[in-house]
Amino acid sequence: MRQLLFSVFILGFSLSAFAQDAWKIEATPIDDTHYYGETVANGMLGLVSSYQPLQTSCVVLAGCYDKFGRGDVSNFLHGFNMLNTTLKINGETVNYKNVSNYTQTLDMRHAVFSGDFNFRNVAEVNYQFVSLRQLQYCGLLIVKIVPKQDITICATNMQQLPEGFKNGKYKYEEMDASHAKAKLLSTESESPTGYRHVCACSTFLFPNNENTEVKDDSVANGHEISFKRTLKKGQKYEFVVAGSTMSNATFFDPINEVKRLVLYCLLQGKDKLMARHFSAWDELWKSDIIIDGDAQAQQDVHGMMYHLYAFLREGSELSISPMGLSGLGYNGHVFWDMETWMYPALLMLHPELAKSALDYRYNRLEAAKRNAEEYGYAGAKFPWESSDSGEEDTPVWAMTGPLEHSITGCVGFAAWQYYCVTGDRDWLQKRGYPLLKESADFWLSRVDRSADGVCHINNVVAADEWAENIDDDAFTNGIAKMNLLCAAKAARLLGEPINKDWEAVADKIPFYADKDGVTKEYQTYKGDNIKQADVNLLAFPLKFITDEAQIKKDLEFYQKRVPGQGTPAMTQAIFSLLWSRLGDVDLASRYFKDSYEPNLLPPFRVIAETKGGTNPYFATGAGGILQGVMMGFGGVDISYDGGITQVKSVLPKGWKKLTLKGIGKDKQTFVRE
C-alpha cells in the first residue's frame, strides 16, 4: 500500500508540477511505459497518438459497428491507420528509442497533435497529425525535416487490415492528368461478419507538386508506398500524407469516395486544407470558458471542452460513447452518459452539436418502440446500450440491459431541455414531441399502481448500478416524473391532445426518506456504499428537491458512501456543483479537484473513468465536470419553462473570475466574480 501511495504521488507530481498554457499540453520526456495517447478528432474520425514517431496507435470511425469480439454484441471496430508512416534517415528507421529531445504537443485551439525530435544529431524533425474538421473522413500527416548535414530519407506509408477484417483488396494507382498527378494507395475489405464494407485511401503530397518517384510494395495483410530523397544540409523539406477512410454505414460506395476525397485533398493542397480546419475550430471556440486565477484549471477545462467538441459534429445525427473517439471503450455504445452528463454542457455551448445527439435518438425511435413492445410495454423504451440499430446492445451478462430503464426518461428530458434553450418550436413539433410523447407513454405502462394509488417503478437497476433489482430508485422515479411532466408541457405548448394520465401518474410517483430525513436511494435502502450519484440528482438537474437544508443533508450523507476507488468522475462533479450553489467554497473546491485530478493519466492529463483507472478518454466525466464549472461555479441554469438564467453560486478557491461566453442560441456571456 505504501508503495502504491508513493507511485500515485509521483504520478500526480509529474502531471501537475507546473501549469502549461491555456491551449497547449506539452509532454516531455516521452515514457512508453506510462503513455496514454491523445486524440485528434473531427466528430467522425478519431486519430489516437502513439509514443512512436509518425504513428497512430488507434483509429476510430464513428458509426462503424460490427458484432465482433467484446461482449458478443455490436461494437466499434479498429479502423484503418491509413496515415501511419515510417521514416528512414541514412538507412536507419526512426523510432522512439533512437531519437532525442522528443516532445509531443496537443494544440487544443486548433486540434493538432505534433511531435518534435532530433535524430542522431543529423536532422531535426517535426510531424503533425490532423483530423480535418471540414472533411469528416479525412486526415493529414505533415512531416517537416531540417537536415544538419547531407542526408538521405525514405518515407513509407502503409495500409494494413485492422484486426478481424477479411477479404482485403489492395490497389495502387497512378493518375497523370493535366491538372494533377496522383499516386493512390487504397484498400477495401469486409468487417469481421461482412456487415460493413470499410475502405481507406492515402497519397503523398509533395512540395510544389513535384513529381517524386513513388514505389509500391506488398506487406503482410496490406501494402505500402514509399519514396526516397537526398537532402542537403540546411535544406528544409516537407511532405504530407493525406488519407481518407469510411464505410458503407455512411456512404453506399466507400471505395470510390475515399479516392475522390484524397484527390480533393491533393488538389486543395495542405495550406488551404489547414486554413479551413483552423477556421472551423475558431468558430467552435467562440463558445468558451475563461478562468482567471487558476492556470492549470483553465488548461484542464479547455481539455474537457476540446474532447467534447472533437467527439461530435453538427449534422452528423450521431451521439457520443463514454470514451468518444479515443478508443473502443464500452464498445462505442451510447448510454445515459450522453443525455445526462455530456449533453447539458454541449447544449449550453453549442446547441447545434447537442441536436445531433437528439437526432440520433429520433432516428431510432421506431426501434425503441419495438423494444417496448417486446417487453410488453407501450410507447418507446430506449436501450441502455445503443449502437447503430437502436436495439439493445448491452452484453447479456449485464442486468443494465433489461432493467436500467432510466435511459428512456433521460432521452425525453433532453428533448425538452433542447426546446428550453433554443426555443425551436418547429423542431419540438417534428422531433422533440414524438420523443417526449412515446417516452412518457412508456412510463404509464411501466409503473405498478398500488391499492392506495401510488405509482411504483419496481425491479430496476438504479443509476447507482451497484443496486440491482430494487424498487423505486430515486433517480429512476425522478427522471420518469420529469419525463411525464415535460411531455404534458410540450403538448400544451403545441396544442396537442394531452394524456391526463401523464401528470396524474407523475404526481403519484414516490420518493422515500429514512428516519433522519435523508432521501433514500430506493425503497429498501439501508445505507450501503454507492457507485455514483443517484439521490443527489434529484436536486440537480431534476430540481425536485429545492430546500437547501434537504440538499445539504442528502449531500452530507451520500458523499460519505462513495468509495475512494472504482467510481466514475461525475459523482464528485455533482457534489461540487451543489456545494457551489449552497455557497460552500471549501467543499465546492474540494470536490471539483477530486472529480478529475486523481483520474489523470500521463503524459497529457487525459481523464480515466475512475481513480486509478486506465481507460481514457472518459468524455462522460468531462461532461459532468463541465456542468460543475458552468452550472455550479458559473451559476448558469436552464429554466424548464424556457430560457437560460443565472443563479447564486460561489467560485472555488483561487479563482478570481469566471467568464462563460457564447452560451445558448443567443451566444450570451455570463460572468461570476
| Positions marked catalytic | 465, 609
Candidates 482, 594, 471; CA nearest to 538 is 482
Compute the CA torsion angle 487, 489, 494, 496 (nearest 10 deg). 60
Candidates 343, 500, 348, 494; CA nearest to 431 is 494
Cβ-proximal residues to 506 (8 Å cutoff; 6+ apart), any chain: 480, 481, 484, 485, 488
Q: In whole angstroms, give the CA distance from residue 307 to residue 328.
A: 15
Three cell numbers written together for 381: 423504451
Q: In whole angstroms, give the CA distance from residue 382 to residue 404.
A: 10
SS3 label, residue 8: helix
Q: In whole angstroms, give the CA distance from residue 387 to residue 360.
A: 10
Provide long-range contacts, Cβ within 8 A and 24+ apart, for 272-278.
273/132, 273/134, 273/135, 273/140, 273/242, 274/130, 274/140, 276/132, 276/133, 276/134, 277/110, 277/111, 277/130, 277/132, 277/133, 277/134, 278/110
**Residue 288 β-bridge partners:** 661
Q: At what angle do helices 406-422 and 433-446 cross, to 10 degrees?
A: 150
Candidates 537, 541, 591, 601; CA nearest to 569 is 591
Q: In whole angstroms, give the CA distance from residue 258 to residue 321.
A: 25
- 8-state DSSP, 166: E
Tell me the backbone φ, ψ of residue 227, rounded to 5 degrees: -145, 155
- 8-state DSSP, 656: -
Three cell numbers written together for 526: 439501508
Q: In whole angstroms, give the CA distance from residue 208 to residue 204.
A: 12
Three cell numbers written together for 565: 476507488
Going by their DSSP bridges, the two strands 288-292 and 600-601 should be labelled as unpaired
Candidates 190, 160, 187, 162; CA nearest to 172 is 187
Strand order in the sheet with 39-41: 39-41, 45-49, 56-61
Three cell numbers written together for 539: 436536486
Question: How far does Cα 601 stand from its chain's mean position?
Answer: 17
